[in-house]
């Protein structure tokens, strides 16, 4: 099933739009009569259907941009937020970097509450994500893996899509907390990513509570 509401932020905007939609119809009916209210209903409904059809049309599998491979070269896209500095994730990246020239891009979504995202108050979330990302890149460099990183959209699926537009990944690693402690698990992010992106995806579970300090 294709769902145009691909993130919590979009769902929150849809809720606000629905309130405005019904409110406008009620106000038009009270102030202008039932025919004015009907006219407003028709116009707003047509606009809503048009938006939904546009969102459905644009929901396609993202393709990576073909780029020539040097012998032994692979490009790895890593998506992780709080687990980005976890030892388990670093070990996975190191394992996949053995015997090849690995180009690694680490993307950390700046997770935020829907309300703060709606009012564009994401400075704190981005700063925290950047701090975790910097620490992870330093640790990867110490282990011999040269990686670059960037802060992505708060929706991990959107962050992947944005990264694939400029980074022709051969594989995607999605890192999450264990089931029961991971919002990405609850939202089915890994399964949705596999349905949406034509790139092999590896899911790694990082239990920070069990890792050594």
Indicate if 95 and 130 belong to the same structural domain: yes
- Cβ pair 103, 135 in contact under 8 A: no
Residue 146 lies in a domain: yes
Indicate if 52 and 78 belong to the same structural domain: no
The answer to whether the pTM exceeds 0.75 is no
- Domain extent, residue 181, equals 73-205
Indicate if 186 and 83 belong to the same structural domain: yes
Element (H, E) at 196: helix 189-196
pLDDT average, residue stretch 21-38: 73
Indicate if 35 and 105 belong to the same structural domain: no
Indicate if 143 and 185 belong to the same structural domain: yes
More confident residue, 112 or 83: 83
**C-alpha distances out from residue 76 to 84, 107, 195, Å:** 14, 11, 19
Pick left, alpha or beta for residue 141 (phi over 0 → left; psi -120 to 50 → alpha; otherwise beta). alpha
How far apart, in whole angstroms, are the C-alpha atoms of residue 42 and residue 13?
21
Domains identified in the chain, total number:
2
| pLDDT band, residue 202 (cuts 50/70/90) | very high
Position 59 pLDDT exceeds 60: no
Indicate if 146 and 169 belong to the same structural domain: yes
Average confidence score pLDDT of the chain: 76
| pLDDT band, residue 167 (cuts 50/70/90) | confident
Per-residue confidence (pLDDT) for residue 198, from 0 to 100: 87
3-state SS string over 22-47?
HHHHHHHHHHHCHHHHHHHHHHHHHH
- Cβ pair 82, 177 in contact under 8 A: yes
Residue 64 lies in a domain: no
Residues in a beta bridge with 149: 106
Per-residue confidence (pLDDT) for residue 39, from 0 to 100: 75
For 90-122, how does the pLDDT look when each residue is reduced to its tens digit (9 = 90+)? 888 888 887 777 889 999 988 754 444 444 446
Kindly report the CATH number assigned to the domain that includes residue 98. 3.40.50.620
């Amino acid at each position: 099933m294709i769902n145009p509401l691909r993130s919590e932020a979009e769902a929150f905007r849809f809720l606000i739009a629905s309130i405005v939609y019904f409110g406008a119809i009620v106000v038009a009916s009270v102030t202008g009569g039932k025919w004015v209210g009907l006219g407003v209903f028709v116009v707003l409904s047509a606009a809503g259907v048009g938006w939904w059809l546009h969102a459905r049309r644009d929901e396609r599998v993202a393709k990576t941009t073909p780029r020539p491979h040097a012998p032994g070269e692979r490009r790895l896209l890593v998506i992780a937020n709080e687990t980005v500095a976890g030892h388990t994730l670093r070990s996975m990246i190191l394992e996949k970097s053995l015997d090849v020239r690995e180009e690694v891009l680490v993307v950390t979504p700046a997770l935020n509450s829907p309300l703060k995202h709606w009012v564009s108050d994401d400075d704190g979330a981005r700063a925290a994500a950047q701090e975790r990302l910097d620490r992870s890149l330093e640790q990867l460099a110490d282990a011999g893996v040269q990686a670059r990183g960037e802060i992505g959209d708060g929706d991990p699926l959107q962050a992947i899509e944005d990264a694939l537009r400029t980074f022709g990944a051969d594989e995607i690693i999605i890192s999450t907390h264990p089931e029961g402690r991971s919002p990405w698990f609850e939202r089915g992010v890994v399964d949705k990513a596999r349905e949406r992106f034509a790139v092999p995806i590896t899911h790694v579970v990082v239990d920070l509570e069990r890792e050594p300090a």
